Each structure stands twice: as structure tokens, then as C-alpha cells.
Amino acid sequence: MVVNNIKNYQNFKIFITVFLLWFSIQFGKPIEDSIAFVLIISIGIIHGANDLLILSLKKMKNNRFVINLFIYLCIVSFCVIFYILNPFLAILLFIFISSYHFGEEHLSEKMITNRYFESFYYIVYGLLIFSMLFYEALFEVNTIMLELTKTIFSEFFVKYTFIFSLISFLLMNTFLLWKEKIDAKVFLKEGFSLGLLFLVFKTSSLILSFAIYFIFWHSIPSIINQILFISGDISKSSILFYVKKAFLFWLISIVALFVLYQFIPEVTLLSTIVFVILFSVTAPHIWVMYKMKN
């Protein structure tokens, strides 16, 4: 039953991506961005809202919940302080750890090698996603970067990050095929998926492009894994339980988002505040997901 649900979602993911690609061609940027913000603020934030619940479940196994909670809050505090001290390096850190997280969520069940190879493989995959996105929407990226850091990414930096990550990804997959650590069908599916995402990034606005990947390719698969960890199955009751437990954290995040947007005069873009909120919760969320998967 669970396997069928996951397979059905994989098919739905491709369908909704193609549909939103068509949608982005038919409608303008304001409508695209409005839909994207709704997706990110709802599903995107919810997917990291049950971290403390997951830590509390681990308490039953090792009685370390208080220590884990302290570590979680320290990571959040570190991210905030680091951003205040050096916004540009903080954003680079956000991209780097998010790259690992995207790769881990997307690829961890598709091959098994060793920890070091897998970690680099995940980072390369995530950097490929980010660099494709940034390469196709560099002006929009730099508009947000100016508000976040007063600095921009050069075209040279983005272009060669894209080339490096693409070549590395191809070489690593060639190695995995040679060692028979990955199935050829998986390789072809990943190639098709990356081609589809590149087309989406080329056609859609930055915010919608990010939302399509972040929500349908990352957040919902992550939510599925979290529900399986928390409840043991995917059902209407387990989904409702997950949403109910996430609601308070989600509500606090939404209130914080709009308070920051209203009371920081230097910020004129809602997308800037959204990325600040995502940055502050991404690092601790990655740590919790690592503990959950292990």
C-alpha cells in the first residue's frame, strides 16, 4: 500500500510539474509568484514544522530529547547570528547545506556506496539544482541578494558552478553505473527529471521555479517519509495527525514572516523575508532529518 502511494506520487509529481510549466507559459509573473508564495508558505514551511515531534519520538529510544532540543535551538541561534555578522557567507552556507539536503532526500534510497561518496554526490546534485535555477534567473536572484546581503552573484560564478556540478554529476553517475551501484533506468529517469526541471527554470519566474522544485520534488516526499516515521503508514488519519501537530509551529512562522515584512523598512520583497525564514529553519531541519534517517 505504501509503495503504491509513493509510486502514485512520483507520477503525480511529473504531471504537476508539466502542468505548472504550461501554466507559467499562459500567465504572467504576478500570478505565478502568488501561487508560488502560497505553496511555499503552506506546504514548504509545514514540511519542517514537525522537527520537535520527530525529536520527541527519538526520546523513547535514547532519552536524549532535552539535549537534542538544546542542540536544535543552538543551531537556529547560530544561523541567525551568522547571518547578522556576515549575510553573504550565511547565504552561501544556506545554499551548501540545502544542496546536501536536497540530494539526500532525492537520492538516498536510489543507491548505496559509502558515506563520503554519498555526501559529495548529494551536494553535487543540490548544487546542480541551485546553479540551473540561478543561471536562468540571475537578475531576479541578484535582486533578492541585494536585499539580503548587499552583494550579488557574478555570472561567471554561477556559470562555472553549473558547469562543475553538471560534469561532476555525470562523472559520478558514470562511476556508479560502472560499479553497478545504480540502475540504468534510475540514471535515465534522473536525466529526464533534470531536463524537465531545466525547462521549468528557463520558462517560469524564479519564485515559481523554486516553489515547483522545493514543494513537489522535495517537501512533499520529505513529508511522506516523516509521516511514515511518525505513524508507520500513509493514511488520512496519519496525514491529519501530521498537519495538526505541525500547525502551531507553522502559525508562529507565518506570524514572524509578516511581522518582519511589515517592520523592516529596508525589505521591499516578500521573497526576501521568505528566504530568511527558510534559512533560519533549514540547518536544524537538516540535522533532524539526518537523525531520523539514521
| pLDDT at site 63 | 58
Q: Are 71 and 290 in contact (CB under 8 A)?
A: no
Residue corresponding to grid cell 560499479? 179
Domain assignment of residue 14, yes or no: no
Q: For residues 102 and 123, give the distance between their C-alpha atoms in angstroms, rounded to a whole number.
A: 8
Q: For residues 209 and 20, give the distance between their C-alpha atoms in angstroms, rounded to a whole number.
A: 9
Domain assignment of residue 65, yes or no: yes
Q: Are 273 and 290 in contact (CB under 8 A)?
A: no
Domain assignment of residue 242, yes or no: yes
| pLDDT at site 153 | 94
Q: Which domain holds residue 277?
A: 28-293
Exposure of 279 in the CB half-sphere (CA atoms within 13 A): 25
Which DSSP string do the residues of 4-50 spell out, in sequence order? Answer: HHHHHHHHHHHHHHHHHHHHHHHS-HHHHHHHHHHHIIIIIHHTTTT
Domain assignment of residue 96, yes or no: yes
Provide CB contacts within 8 A for 24, sequence distance 6+: 32, 200, 203, 204, 205, 208
Domain assignment of residue 37, yes or no: yes
Mean pLDDT of successive 10-residue stretches along the chain, which has 294 residues: 68 93 86 89 85 71 69 84 87 91 86 83 95 94 88 94 96 90 86 94 92 93 90 89 87 78 63 72 82 74
Between the alpha carbon of residue 117 and those of residues 92, 165, 211, the distances in Å are 22, 15, 28
Find the helix packing angle between 65-85 and 51-62, rounded to 10°.
Answer: 140
Q: Are 105 and 289 in contact (CB under 8 A)?
A: yes
φ, ψ of residue 199 to 5 degrees: the values are -65, -40
Domain assignment of residue 20, yes or no: no
Domain assignment of residue 279, yes or no: yes
Q: For residues 116 and 34, give the distance between their C-alpha atoms in angstroms, rounded to a whole number.
A: 40
- Max CA distance (Å), the chain: 56
- pTM to 2 decimal places: 0.88
C-alpha cell recorded at residue 164: 562543475
As for how many domains the chain has, the answer is 1
Domain assignment of residue 12, yes or no: no
| pLDDT at site 266 | 60
